[in-house]
Amino acid sequence: MTVLGDKLTSLLGRKTATALAGALDLHTVGDLLRHYPRRYAERGELTDIAGLEIGEHATVLARIEKATKRQMRNKPGWLLELVITDGQRRLQCAFFGKVHQHERQLRVGKTGLFAGKVTAFRNELQLANPEYQMFEDEQGASTMDEFLGALIPVYPAAAGMPSWSIARCVRQVLDTLEREEDPVPAALLARYGLVDLFDALHGIHRPQDWAALEAARERLKWDEALALQLIFAQRRHSAVSRPAPACPRKPGGLLESFDGRLPFTLTEGQREVGEHIAEDLSGVHPMNRLLQGEVGSGKTVVALRAMLQVVDAGRQAALLAPTEVLAAQHARSLREMLGELGRAGELGAAEQATGITLLTGSMTAKERKQALLDAASGAAGIVVGTHALIQDSVSFADLGFVVVDEQHRFGVEQRDALRSRGANETSPHVLVMTATPIPRTVAMTVYGDLETSSLREMPAGRSPISTTVVPVTEKPSWLNRVWQRVAEEVAKGHQAYVVCPRIGDEPPSNGNGGDKRPPLAVLDVAAELEAGPLAGLRLGILHGRLPADEKDEIMRAFAAGKLDVLLATTVIEVGVNVPNATAMVIMDADRFGVSQLHQLRGRVGRGSVPGLCLLVTEAFDGTSTRERLAAVESTTDGFELSRLDLELRREGDILGSAQSGKRSGLKLLSLLRDEELIAEARARAQEIVAGDPGLAGHAGLAGMVSAVIDDERAEYLDKS
């Protein structure tokens, strides 16, 4: 009998096992059985050829419409040309070599599976080096015993290992598979009406009907969700079991003074989230919380209030930003918001005032020494810096709280590095802020080790941003209009950003996407605008490779209105706040991701005047690229946009595309459609880990968890 851990070699023979390992990285019975069909062809239904993508390795179920044999032109031998069809569109295939053997099987009118790489030649789609499996042999007997019912599994395949060969291997393995004890507790299976693993593996590979397939998929999705959520539950458990510096609220402290001076009332969301955080900070175990909210939703105020509670408790807070520009800007705006409350040691400071210290890599030795001293002595209640602040051996007098701005550049490992930074072996409280709203399922899977809070409403008085796609391939004249609009904004006394995907000082690279032209560069576009459409305006250039003090100087000049137009890379993506900037032009907008575009445009419309965002692109109408831009154009609701993004990014369910659902990864689970399942799995995982943190009494589950972790580790090793 066969079990999941068995090597394929002993079952399928060395040749086949080697082929599976080489083509698809499948080594054990478990690997093969977790190599799920990509989709199922229904007997009698042909594959939609229009859905094929050029360059993919595809498997199509098609009918032979025409077969022509002829002598090859330049060399001796025969050529068999085939036209196969889905009833509407056609694909060309050509066979050389043992043509007579092929000819006997490939009869006009017959159907079968054809696999190969999709290419295009003179506007016609072709299958290169096709492999095939006809449904009937020359005598008309069925050749498809691998398939029980009407559903034919189509596997992610590779050249030399076509879908039907995989199906044959799977059948061989399933025929001898032993029914082992299910790794998932019976009570959980019963509660959710899930079939056991043995049935699920049969059901997904050789479904009797759609219902059996559905039951199998449901169960196997649970495996994926549960393993992941158990890992997160264990992480959360070990994180919160550590001691943390408790920072209870202090009546009459800095926070109360600050609240009394706030020029606005907090939104409902800010108050509510603030309450949760205040409570967490008072606790003796560390907070690990993600705060998500649109650009401008007022996260910084929430973070600052939390920092003040920590300072009131006699400890320090650190604010980490992804870049030096942002760190400097954060320090400035914190000082501004705090006013005399943030000027400890200076003349005219309030009595309870604290100090805010900026610490970056580009400071002079003297400044840096002073900043390090302030952090170590505790003179600085708030220390602002880049992420390097944590990796460096900066010492704090008593670090109680770390705020990390912008999650997507701050990984799990970096969060781990924070854990030991508190005084006396404590773990500081951590608040991660992201301006990229993420759907609940993504929060639960990608940031599953954090609790999440969201700010959904915007503070009153925000101006709307209108976004327009400028398709310069179809409407070349619109580009002039773009620069006119920028000039008009400047004439009205406003300012504008022009964003490009590339700096332009890199050495010329070869490769980089073949014949696709390189993305537009800040330096090139600046030169063109200066010489032409924006001649006479005060242009500034900002990008990541400028020295930090120069960056800072340019940002200051722009903020002070000494520049009309700032040409920049995505360094301005986050945090930059210049209310007088009303327009943004994004060149080659298609080279940016949806959430990045959304972030970028959040830089305008921050004052009392509506913002304008123009997305310039050469992408053609009807492409998925244009669809993404249209999504950005259609809504400024970041949560809605993150959903759309998720939808658009899902690979089409094209038959047999060569995406060999590698290693770990979520193969069946959809972050879009399986929200309920993921939430349930999270709740169950939480319960299980609360009662059995090490999963000592749940050997099956522990095995599932370590399989995922091993895969991740293997993937990591592959990469490095």
Q: Looking at 283-435, list the stretches that DSSP marks H as alpha helix, in order from N- to C-terminal side.
A: 299-312, 324-338, 365-377, 388-391, 412-418
Nearer to ligand ADP, 293 or 322 (CB): 293
Nearer to Mg ion, 295 or 313 (CB): 295
Q: How far is the CB of 262 from ligand ADP (least distance, A)?
A: 8
What is residue 413's three-state secondary structure?
A: helix
Evaluate whether 331 touches 341 at the Cβ level (below 8 Å): no
Nearer to ligand ADP, 443 or 681 (CB): 443
Q: Does 297 bind Mg ion (CB under 5 A)?
A: no
Q: How far is the CB of 586 from ligand ADP (least distance, A)?
A: 19
Nearer to Mg ion, 6 or 405 (CB): 405
Return the residue of 266, 472, 630, 648 that touches ligand ADP, per CB under 6 A: 266
Q: Does 329 bind Mg ion (CB under 5 A)?
A: no
Site string for ligand ADP, 236-265 (x = CB under 6 A): ----------------------------x-
Nearer to Mg ion, 385 or 575 (CB): 575
How many angstroms separate the first and last alpha carbons of the chain?
A: 38
CA angle 24, 26, 29 (to 5 degrees): 145
| CB contact burial 422-441 (16+ within 10 A = b; e otherwise) | beeebbbbbbbbbbbbbbbb
Q: Does 598 bind ligand ADP (CB under 6 A)?
A: no
Q: How far is the CB of 465 from ligand ADP (least distance, A)?
A: 14
Q: Hey, what are 286's tokens?
A: 């560390």
Q: Which does 270 bind (CB under 5 to 8 A by kind): Mg ion, ligand ADP, none?
A: ligand ADP
DSSP letter at 145 equals T
Q: Does 292 bind Mg ion (CB under 5 A)?
A: no
Return the residue of 28, 267, 454, 582 that touches ligand ADP, per CB under 6 A: 267
Q: Looking at 591-674, list the stretches that DSSP marks H as alpha helix, in order from N- to C-terminal side.
A: 594-601, 624-634, 638-649
Q: Which does 264 bind (CB under 5 to 8 A by kind): ligand ADP, Mg ion, none?
A: ligand ADP
The number of residues making up the chain comes to 720
Q: In the sheet that 581-586 helps form, which strands lie side by side, from edge to edge?
A: 465-471, 611-617, 581-586, 495-499, 565-568, 539-542
Nearer to ligand ADP, 371 or 455 (CB): 455
Q: Hey, what are 368's tokens?
A: 């840096």
Q: For ligand ADP, which stretch binds (CB under 6 A), given 266-274, 306-314, 679-687, 697-705?
A: 266-274
Q: Which does 37 bind (CB under 5 to 8 A by kind): ligand ADP, Mg ion, none?
A: none
Q: Which does 293 bind (CB under 5 to 8 A by kind): Mg ion, ligand ADP, none?
A: ligand ADP
d(CA 76, CA 98): 13
d(CA 476, CA 618): 9
d(CA 593, CA 575): 18
Q: Does 300 bind Mg ion (CB under 5 A)?
A: yes
* Of 678, 686, 707, residue with least CA distance to 234: 686
Site string for ligand ADP, 421-460 (x = CB under 6 A): --------------x-----------------------xx
Q: Which of residues 280-299 bind ligand ADP (CB under 6 A)?
A: 293, 295-299
Nearer to ligand ADP, 90 or 456 (CB): 456
User: What is the pairing mode between strands 111-121 and 57-71?
Assistant: antiparallel
| CB contact burial 385-406 (16+ within 10 A = b; e otherwise) | bbbebbeeebebbbbbbbbbbb
Nearer to Mg ion, 313 or 319 (CB): 319
Q: Does 51 bind ligand ADP (CB under 6 A)?
A: no
Q: Which does 125 bind (CB under 5 to 8 A by kind): ligand ADP, Mg ion, none?
A: none
d(CA 309, CA 65): 76
Nearer to Mg ion, 212 or 403 (CB): 403
d(CA 373, CA 371): 5
Nearer to ligand ADP, 298 or 448 (CB): 298
DSSP for 12-59 reads H-HHHHHHHHHHH---BHHHHHTS--SEEEETT----GGG--TT-EEE
- 531: alpha, beta or left, given left = phi > 0 and alpha = psi -120 to 50? alpha
Q: Which does 696 bind (CB under 5 to 8 A by kind): Mg ion, ligand ADP, none?
A: none
Evaluate whether 585 touches 522 at the Cβ level (below 8 Å): no
Q: Which of residues 458-487 bind ligand ADP (CB under 6 A)?
A: 459-460
- CB under 8 Å to 673, separation ≥6 — which residues? none
Q: Which does 266 bind (CB under 5 to 8 A by kind): ligand ADP, Mg ion, none?
A: ligand ADP
Q: Does 321 bind ligand ADP (CB under 6 A)?
A: no
Nearer to ligand ADP, 471 or 579 (CB): 579
Nearer to ligand ADP, 129 or 577 (CB): 577
| CB contact burial 621-636 (16+ within 10 A = b; e otherwise) | eeeebbebbebbbeeb
Q: How far is the CB of 575 from Mg ion (least distance, A)?
A: 5
Nearer to Mg ion, 234 or 300 (CB): 300
Q: How far is the CB of 506 from Mg ion (least distance, A)?
A: 30
Return the residue of 47, 288, 292, 300 that touches ligand ADP, per CB under 6 A: 300
Q: Does 596 bind Mg ion (CB under 5 A)?
A: no
Q: For Mg ion, which stretch binds (CB under 5 A), given 21-29, 183-191, 202-210, 573-581?
A: 573-581
Q: How far is the CB of 305 from ligand ADP (least distance, A)?
A: 10
- CB under 8 Å to 576, separation ≥6 — which residues? 325, 326, 329, 555, 603
Evaluate whether 82 touches 108 at the Cβ level (below 8 Å): no
Q: How far is the CB of 596 from ligand ADP (least distance, A)?
A: 15
Binding site for ligand ADP (CB under 6 A): 264, 266-267, 270, 293, 295-301, 435, 459-460
Footprint of Mg ion on this chain (CB under 5 A)?
300, 575
